[in-house]
């Protein structure tokens, strides 16, 4: 049997666990596309809707200019102070292979502090934290050594690429492959050696996914100031060729 055929037979198709399009919210709750656990919006988190075409700013000076959302008809807007959202439980099993993707746009041209896009908590700390680090102008993936209070954090992957608030949106994805003990960070479908690391001891986190914040020594912190959209979570590791299918209103086909 040729190597490509062995790889094809060994491949296990990832299973979609959740897709939050963040286009609407009722009573502070934004639904999951297929009826799964919704995201509950905390204080400082709102759904921004795009222009409704009721007027045209170029023709009507009294017509307000409404920014278009990141994807589709709406996105999550976070104030950087308390804004966050969370489902009722974890989005992925961090002890097994998983993939999680998100579209993000920061609000500040020059952020002055780290800001977390996504994290998922264990009992004492986060199993993973996806954040922007302004000192290196990079998106980082951070994991602790163990689920203990004060456990040292390790930046296992990072990819530079932030060019200010007026630049294009960023499509970020974290992929953990338990079979190879590798974890990767993607930006706009791209990864490299600096964004790939060994992770032989991934541990199970039972806390809910946190959108826009993470645990710090002083409690919740690193609140994101910006917009988020199209959060997609999978059991299983998406292949490199499938990553570009994330970040839209539909899910990648994961074909072949």
Q: Is the pLDDT of residue 230 over 80?
A: yes
Q: Is the pLDDT of residue 24 over 70?
A: yes
CB atoms within 10 A of CB 241: 12
**Measuring CA to CA, how many Å separate 210 from each of 41, 66, 116, 222, 225?**
11, 28, 9, 11, 14
Token look-up 């666990």 returns: 17
At 238, is the pLDDT very low, low, confident or very high (cuts 50, 70, 90)? very high
- pLDDT the model gives residue 178: 95
- pLDDT the model gives residue 5: 47
CATH number assigned to the domain with residue range 3-245, chosen from the 4 options 3.30.70.1450, 1.10.760.10, 2.60.120.200, 2.60.40.10: 2.60.120.200
Q: Is the pLDDT of residue 95 over 50?
A: yes
**For strand 126-133 and strand 115-121, is the pairing parallel, antiparallel, or unpaired?**
antiparallel
Q: What is the mean pLDDT of the chain?
A: 90
- pLDDT the model gives residue 6: 42
The alpha-carbon radius of gyration of the chain (Å, integer) is 18
What would the pLDDT profile of 203-223 be if each residue is shown by its tens digit? 889 999 999 999 888 889 999
- Contact between 131 and 114 under an 8 Å Cβ cutoff? The reply is yes
- pLDDT the model gives residue 10: 57
At 11, is the pLDDT very low, low, confident or very high (cuts 50, 70, 90)? low
- pLDDT the model gives residue 156: 85
What would the pLDDT profile of 160-204 be if each residue is shown by its tens digit? 877 666 667 899 999 999 999 999 999 999 998 889 999 888 888
211-224: burial string, b at 16+ Cβ within 10 Å, e else = bbbbbeeeebebbb
Q: Is the pLDDT of residue 4 over 70?
A: no
> In angstroms, rounded to a whole number, what is the distance separating the alpha carbons of residues 17 and 38?
12
Q: Is the pLDDT of residue 85 over 90?
A: yes
- Contact between 187 and 196 under an 8 Å Cβ cutoff? The reply is no
At 9, is the pLDDT very low, low, confident or very high (cuts 50, 70, 90)? very low
- pLDDT the model gives residue 179: 95
Q: Which residues contact 185 (CB under 8 A, 6 or more apart)?
A: 130, 139, 140, 141, 157, 158, 159, 172, 173, 174, 191, 195, 196
- Contact between 127 and 121 under an 8 Å Cβ cutoff? The reply is yes
> In angstroms, rounded to a whole number, what is the distance separating the alpha carbons of residues 182 and 195?
10
């Amino acid at each position: 049997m040729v190597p490509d055929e062995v790889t094809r037979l060994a491949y296990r198709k990832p299973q979609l666990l959740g897709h939050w399009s963040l286009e609407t919210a009722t009573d502070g709750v934004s639904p999951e596309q297929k009826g799964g656990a919704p995201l509950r919006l905390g204080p400082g988190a709102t759904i921004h809707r795009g222009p409704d075409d009721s007027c045209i700013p170029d023709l009507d000076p009294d017509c307000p200019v409404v920014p278009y959302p990141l994807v589709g008809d709406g996105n999550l807007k976070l104030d950087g102070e308390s804004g966050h959202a969370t489902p009722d439980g974890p989005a992925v099993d961090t002890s097994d292979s998983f993939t999680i993707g998100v579209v993000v746009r920061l609000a500040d041209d020059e952020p002055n502090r780290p800001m977390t896009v996504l994290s998922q908590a264990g009992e004492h700390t986060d199993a993973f934290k996806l954040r922007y680090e302004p000192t290196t102008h990079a998106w980082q993936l951070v994991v602790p050594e163990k689920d203990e209070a004060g456990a040292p954090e390790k930046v296992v992957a990072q990819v530079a690429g932030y060019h200010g608030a007026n630049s294009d949106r960023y499509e970020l994805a974290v992929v953990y492959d338990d079979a190879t003990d590798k974890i990767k960070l993607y930006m706009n479908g791209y990864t490299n050696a600096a964004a790939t690391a060994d992770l032989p001891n991934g541990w199970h986190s039972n806390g809910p996914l946190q959108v826009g914040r993470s645990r710090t020594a002083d409690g919740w912190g690193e609140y994101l100031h910006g917009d988020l959209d199209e959060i997609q979570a999978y059991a299983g590791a998406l292949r490199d060729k499938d990553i570009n299918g994330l970040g839209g209103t539909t899910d990648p086909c994961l074909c072949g």
